Amino acid sequence: MKIVFERTAEDLVRFNEYHWRNSPAMRRMYRLGFVGAPVSGAVSAFLLAKTGLIVATIAFVTAAALYAAAYVWYSSWWLRRGVRMLLAEGHNKGQFGTHEIEISADAVTEQTAHDQSKHSWTVIERVAENAFYIFIYTQPTAAHVIPKVAFPSPAQAAAFLDAAASYHQAAVAGNRAQSR
């Protein structure tokens, strides 16, 4: 199966958002950031402790809620901004523009005007999707990012995803059988 599409910087920003929200390591780091919510609430309550228990409690809850809301917004904004800044640093000749990705039982092949790569399914980390993209991870933090809108129909996007997942599962099963 083959798909040809135009990759944009926004596709890579969306991949990084997906990865950030779905990587176990990144989720742990994100959750750790919420430690600031009770800390900011406790500091606010401490500073207002002399005003009474009700005021200190309201200050704690308000400060913690405001911190959590700001953290959710800021961390997402910071990620998108950071990825855009990184992409602006280089020429990105192999990143943007027309991409042709072909999957077969043996490998995933990607071709652009500037580069070509071929990855055996045995080295593919995983195949994933969200509502807008199919991700074929070539490394823990890198993937072929395929927009679903590039397919003529949702059914063809689903068939491509199913084929990729099947090829990957067969390779993983083959690796397990060989290692026994």
Report the Cα 117 to chain-centroid distance in Å.
21
What is the rounded radius of gyration, in angstroms, for the C-alpha atoms of the chain? 22
Q: Which fold has domain 2-8+93-179?
A: PH-domain like (2.30.29)
- The beta-strand segments (E) located in 76-140 are 97-103, 107-111, 116-120, 126-129, 133-139
Region of residue 116 (phi > 0: left; psi between -120 and 50: alpha; otherwise: beta): beta
In the predicted structure, residue 179 carries a pLDDT above the cut 70: no
Q: What is the pLDDT of residues 8-32, one digit of tens each?
A: 999 999 999 999 888 888 888 888 8
Rounded CA separation 126/148 (Å) = 17
Mean pLDDT, the chain, whole residue set: 89
Stretch 109-133: mean pLDDT: 95
Provide CB contacts within 8 A for 38, sequence distance 6+: 64
Q: Is 107 exposed, middle or buried (0-12, 13-18, 19+ CB in 10 A)?
A: middle
Handedness of CA 53, 54, 58, 59 (dihedral sign): negative
Show me where the domains of the chain are located. 2-8+93-179, 34-88
Q: What is the pLDDT of residue 56?
A: 80
Which is nearest to 102 in space by CA: 11, 172, 12, 164?
Answer: 164
Q: What is the pLDDT of residues 49-74, one digit of tens each?
A: 778 888 888 888 888 888 888 888 98
